[in-house]
Amino acid sequence: MDTAPPTALITAPTVDQIVYDTIPVVGTATDGAFPIALWQLEVGPGDPPPSWTPLNSSGSSIVDGELAQWVTKAFVSEESGLPAIKEIALTANGLYTFRLTVTDQAGNTSVAPVRVNLENLLITNVTVNPRFFMASTDSIASA
């Protein structure tokens, strides 16, 4: 009978690490010689978070592999495929907690939380200078 808890471990990012943009979450979800039933990775604002958002889950073991990528900012164009940017979807900066929960087939559960600091940089109020670089002549010209 399996009475040992499974392994739940987040190795990256590390506790209190400053993160930004797209964050790969790396870790381990195993149960030794026994198969796991499920692992689930979630993220929530604060420590402890009032709510959790699922990022990924699986019924297969993983050892020191990428569990998920947390995308915290995305540029959205007016129409798909066009370069014009209409808006920026940005997750609020601050403290967040990742939670990896691993449950084995015997019902044993392990939980691994990791707190991080999200610090996305948002550049606003950019002005365009009428001077531009002319690649064909390696010179700078005025518009």
For the chain, what percent of residues have pLDDT higher than 90? Answer: 62
Distances (CA, A) of 138 to 6, 85, 128, 132: 61, 29, 20, 11
Contact residues for 126 (Cβ-Cβ < 8 A; gap 6+): none
Query: Tell me: the pLDDT tens digits for 92-122?
Result: 999 999 999 999 999 999 999 999 999 987 6
Strand order in the sheet with 22-30: 7-12, 22-30, 62-71
Q: How far apart are CA 18 and CA 77, in angstroms?
A: 28
**The pLDDT of residue 84:** 54
**The pLDDT of residue 68:** 97
Quickly tell me which residue has 């979807």 as its tokens. 89
Report which residue type is found at 124.
Answer: T
Query: Is the model more confident about 139 or about 68?
Result: 68
Instruction: Tell me phi and psi for residue 39, to 5 degrees.
Output: -125, 150
Query: Tell me: the pLDDT tens digits for 12-34?
Result: 999 999 999 999 999 999 998 77
CA nearest to 22, candidates 12, 33, 10: 12
**The pLDDT of residue 100:** 98
